[in-house]
C-alpha cells in the first residue's frame, strides 16, 4: 500500500500465476477484483492482490474492441481499456514488448487486466525479457 495515496501498489506477476493460482476473494464497490495467490515452490500465499504489473509481447491489438492480447512466458492475458491510456496507442503494435499496470478484472479462463498504464519496452526487450521472471520472483519474495 502506498502510504501517501492510500492506493495498493502493483504486484509483479506472470499470467500463469493469475490463471492457476488466483482465487477470487472479493469484488469491491468500485468493481475491483481482489485475488488471493499462491506463489513460489512452497505455495506461499500473497495478501489479496488487485493491482498488477505484467510484461509481455503484443500478439494482437484490437483497438476497435478497446483491448489487446499479450503473451508472457507462461501464457496469454487480455488487456482492456487500451484506448484510454495516455501514450498507450504506440504500444499497440504486434510484436512490441510492453509493460502493463492495471486492475484485475478476471483470472480465468484467461486473465483480464483493465490497463491504467502501458509502456513500450521494445528497445531493450532482450534485457527486459531476461530479467522479468527474476524481478517477479524477487518482488514476491519481499511480499511474503
Q: What is the CATH number of the domain that holds 81?
A: 2.40.50.140
Confidence class of residue 41 from pLDDT cuts 50, 70 and 90?
low
pLDDT for 2 equals 40
- Which structural domain range is residue 96 located in? 11-143
pLDDT digits (tens, 9 = 90+) for 96-107: 999 999 999 988
Determine, yes or no, domain membership for 5.
no
Q: Which residues pair with 12 in a beta bridge?
A: 53
Tell me what pLDDT residue 59 has. 97
* Per-residue model confidence (pLDDT) at position 101: 95
Residue 22 is assigned to a structural domain of this protein? yes
Please report the pLDDT score of residue 1 as a whole number: 43
Domain count for the chain? 1
Pairing of strands 67-72, 51-62: antiparallel
- Domain membership of residue 4 (yes or no) is no
pLDDT of residue 92: 85
- Give the residue with greater pLDDT, 39 vs 81: 81
82, 93 contact by CB (below 8 A):
no
List Cα–Cα distances, 130 to 4, 86, 136, in angstroms.
33, 27, 11
Buried residues in 102-121 as b, exposed as e (16+ CB within 10 A): bbbbbbeeebbbbbbebebb
Q: What is the mean pLDDT of the chain?
A: 81
What does the pLDDT average to over 23-49?
A: 63
Residues 110-131 have pLDDT tens digits of 899 999 999 999 998 888 888 9
CA dist., res. 16 & res. 117, Å (int): 21
Amino acid at each position: 500500500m502506498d502510504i501517501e495515496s492510500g492506493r495498493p501498489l502493483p504486484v509483479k506477476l506472470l499470467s500463469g500465476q493469475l490463471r492457476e493460482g488466483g482465487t477470487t476473494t472479493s469484488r469491491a464497490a468500485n468493481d475491483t477484483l481482489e485475488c488471493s495467490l499462491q506463489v513460489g515452490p512452497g505455495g506461499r500465499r500473497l495478501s489479496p492482490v488487485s493491482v498488477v504489473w505484467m510484461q509481455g509481447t503484443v500478439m494482437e491489438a484490437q483497438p476497435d474492441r478497446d483491448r489487446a492480447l499479450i503473451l508472457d512466458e507462461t501464457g496469454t492475458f487480455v488487456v482492456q481499456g487500451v484506448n484510454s491510456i495516455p501514450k498507450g496507442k504506440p504500444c499497440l503494435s504486434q510484436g512490441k514488448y510492453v509493460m502493463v499496470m492495471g486492475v484485475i478484472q478476471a483470472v480465468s479462463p484467461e486473465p483480464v487486466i483493465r490497463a491504467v498504464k502501458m509502456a513500450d519496452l521494445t528497445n531493450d526487450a532482450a534485457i527486459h525479457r531476461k530479467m522479468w521472471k527474476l524481478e517477479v520472483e524477487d518482488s514476491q519474495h519481499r511480499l511474503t
